[in-house]
A and B are shown apart, each in its own frame.
Chain A
C-alpha cells in the first residue's frame, strides 16, 4: 500500500507487532482524510499475516473471514451492528491466528451502541485486535477512550498532500493551490481537485476574488445546495481569508467577513436554517463588504 506520512505511528505499530506487544484496542484519532483508515488496513494486513495478493484483496474487499469492517449507515452505527460484530468477535479465527475488527467513524455509535461495545473493550477476546477510527474523539465516551491505546494522527504536510494530488493526475500548479487549502487532509484535497468539492472551490474562489458574475434579479443561483456543502464552502472561504490575514495583517473588512462566516456557520449548526437561503444571504452580504 502506498501511504504518505505517519511514519512514527506506522513504525510503532510494526514494532509492537514484531515484539508481540500489541494492544487489544486502538483508537486512531485525527482529522478526516489524513489516512487513518489506510494505516489501519496496513496494520490489519500485518496482523493477519496476509501472505499473498489473494489475502490482501480479501481484506481490502472486507470478505476475509478474520477481518471485519463496520461503518455508519445514515451517519449512525447502531447497536445491531455492534451486536453483529460482537458475535463475530466471540469466535476463534477461521484461517489464521488473529482477527481484526475495524470500526470507522467510531464517534457515530449512539449511546446504546457505545455502551454495548464497552463490553468487548473490557473483556477483549484474546485473539482479536479492535481498531476504532475517528475524526471526533471528543464525541466518544470517556470509558471507551480509556480502554484504547490512542494514536494521534497529525495533518499531512503540504508537500505530502501535493504529492498525493499529483499522483492522482492533478496538474502540479493546481495541486500546489489545493494542497494549501486542504489543511493537511488528502481526502479533502482529492475532493476539491477531483470530486464534488471542485465546483464549491470554484465558487469560493470566485466570491473571494470578486470574479463571480452578479446574481440574477431574483437573487438565485440555479443550483441546489445541501447543508453539508454550504458548511464546506464556509470552511473554504475561511481558509482563503486566513491566508489574506497572514499577508495583509487584518484589515477591518477581513474581520467583518470573518465574523459573517462564523455567524452563519454557528447558525447552520444550531438552527435548521435553509442552506440555499443562507448561501444567497452570504453572497449578497459579502458583496456589500467589498
Chain B
C-alpha cells in the first residue's frame, strides 16, 4: 500500500490550479484527470487541456513514490469540503481505487490509466528571469489587438521575438497592430521567434497576476512557451505558423502630427460614437486651426438617428489638412492601455495607417487602419 499525507490547504490549492486549466467536458476521459506524483516527500500535480498545461508542487509527507491519475473535479470538490489539517492519500491495492481520507471521513475514487496521459514538457534548462510587472504590461499592451476571428492562424496569437538586448511583442488583427519593445538583458535564446495563442496568453497572465514575486521565469521549451512563479508552471503550446512581416505596415513618413490629451480624447470619442452607426462605430477627426473636431459617423444609407460633435484644443500640431475616420472601439481599447497624459497621432495620406504613440512610453507603438470617409468614396 502506498500512502502519504498532505495539508488540506496545500492540496486544495494545487487542485484548484489544475481546475483552472482542465476542461469540464472532454471527449478523452484522461484529460479530465489530475496526475498526482509523490516523490521525495513532495506532491506534484499535472493537468492539461492539450493547449495549456500546468505543473505545481506542494510539500507533504510520503514514505514512498507514487503516481496516479484521478478524476480532478470529484477529487477537488471533495477535498474542498474537508476540515483543515492533514489529508491522507493512498492507493488501495485490492480494487485499483484511490482513497482520500481525514479522520473518519473517506472517499474512494477510480484510478485512470496514467500511461494515457500526455507527456508534458520538462522545465527548460535555461530560463529567463524577468520583471513580472514589465512582462505583464507588455502582454496587456498587445493582448487586445490579437485577432479573435481570423482565417490566418498566425494572427490568432501574439508574436514574440527575442533580439539582442530586447524582447519584441507584436499583435495584429489585420486592422490594427500593437508593438512593444521591452529592454531586457540576458536573453539566452536570441533570434527566437514564437507565436503564442491568445488563450494561452490569458493563462500566463492569470498565473503572473496571482504571483507576488518581483521577478518571474519565462522560456521556450519543446514547442511550448513556459511561465513559472512560486505557485507553479504553465506551459502553452505554440501556434504552428509563420508570422507576417509586420514591419511593412509601420509608417515612416507623416503629413501631420497632432498631440492630444488622452483622457479628453477618450471621452470625446466615446460620446461621439454614441451617435455613430451601429455597424462600424466610427468617429471623424477634423483639425481646424489649433483644435480638433470629433464627430459621429453615420452610415449614408441609414435613417438619421442623431449626430454629435465636439471641439477639443490640440496640445500641439504640425502639418497640413486632417480628415480622419477611426473605429471608436479601437481608439478606446488603445487609450485604456496607454500611459501618460498625451497621445501623439501621426499619419500620411488619409487612407494610410495611423500611428499612435505616447511620449511616456518610448517602447510602445500602435497602428490603426483608418476608416474610409464617405465623401472620399
A interface, CB within 8 angstroms of B: 54, 57-58, 61, 63, 65, 89-95, 119, 125-128
Contact = CB atoms under 8 A, between A and B. Distances in A.
Contact of A63 (B28, B51, B153, B197): B28
Interface in B3-54: 28, 30, 50-51
Interface stretch (B111-119, B125-133, B297-305, B355-363): B111-119
B151 interface: yes
A94 B223 contact: yes
Contacts of B240: 89-93, 125-128
Given A63-B28, A125-B153, A94 B115 contact: no
Nearest to B154: A90
B197 A91 contact: yes
B116 A92 contact: no
A91 B238 contact: yes
Q: List 8 A-B pairs, minimum CB-CB distance, nearest first.
A: A92-B223, A90-B153, A125-B240, A92-B240, A92-B238, A65-B118, A91-B237, A54-B115
Contacts of A126: 240, 242
Contacts of B151: 119
Interface string B228-244: 00000000011111100
29 contacts: A54-B115, A57-B116, A58-B116, A61-B116, A63-B30, A63-B116, A65-B50, A65-B118, A89-B240, A90-B153, A90-B156, A90-B240, A90-B241, A91-B238, A92-B238, A92-B239, A93-B223, A94-B50, A94-B237, A95-B118, A95-B119, A95-B222, A119-B151, A125-B153, A125-B241, A126-B240, A126-B242, A127-B240, A128-B240
Nearest to B50: A65
A166 B240 CA distance: 46
Contacts of A89: 240
B31 to A, nearest CB: 9
B114 to A, nearest CB: 10
A89 B237 CA distance: 12
Nearest to A92: B223
Contacts of B116: 57-58, 61, 63
Interface of A is mostly: loop
A90 B239 contact: yes
Nearest to A62: B28
Interface residues of B, number: 20
Interface string B201-223: 00000000000000000000011
Contacts of A58: 116
A112 B241 CA distance: 24
B149 to A, nearest CB: 12
Contacts of B238: 91-92
B152 to A, nearest CB: 9
B42 to A, nearest CB: 25
A119 B150 CA distance: 13
Contacts, number: 44
A92 B115 CA distance: 22
B49 to A, nearest CB: 11
Nearest to B118: A65
A63 B222 CA distance: 20
Interface in B78-133: 115-116, 118-119
Q: Which of A58, A61, A89 neighbours the largest number of chain B CB atoms within 10 Å of its CB?
A: A58
A60 to B, nearest CB: 12
A98 to B, nearest CB: 10
Given A63-B28, A126-B240, 14 more contacts: A54-B115, A58-B116, A63-B116, A90-B153, A90-B239, A91-B197, A91-B238, A91-B239, A91-B240, A93-B223, A95-B118, A95-B119, A127-B240, A128-B240
B315 to A, nearest CB: 44
Interface in B231-269: 237-242
Contacts of B118: 65, 94-95
Contacts of B28: 63
Interface in B141-189: 151, 153, 156
A91 B238 CA distance: 6
A128 B223 CA distance: 14
Contacts of B153: 90, 125
A95 B224 CA distance: 10
Contacts of A90: 153, 156, 239-241
Contact of B51 (A91, A95, A119): A91
Interface string B326-368: 0000000000000000000000000000000000000000000
A128 B153 CA distance: 14
A238 B28 CA distance: 44
A54 B118 CA distance: 11
A63 B238 CA distance: 20
A27 to B, nearest CB: 22
B44 to A, nearest CB: 19
A61 B30 CA distance: 12
Contacts of B237: 91-92, 94
Nearest to B115: A54
Contacts of B50: 65, 94
A92 B50 CA distance: 11
A220 to B, nearest CB: 44
B2 to A, nearest CB: 21
Contacts of A61: 116
A64 to B, nearest CB: 8
A127 B242 CA distance: 12
B39 to A, nearest CB: 20
B23 to A, nearest CB: 14
Nearest to B197: A91
A61 B238 CA distance: 25
Nearest to A89: B240
A54 B119 CA distance: 11
A48 to B, nearest CB: 12
Contacts of B30: 63
A89 B28 CA distance: 18
Nearest to A86: B153
Nearest to B200: A91
Nearest to B223: A92
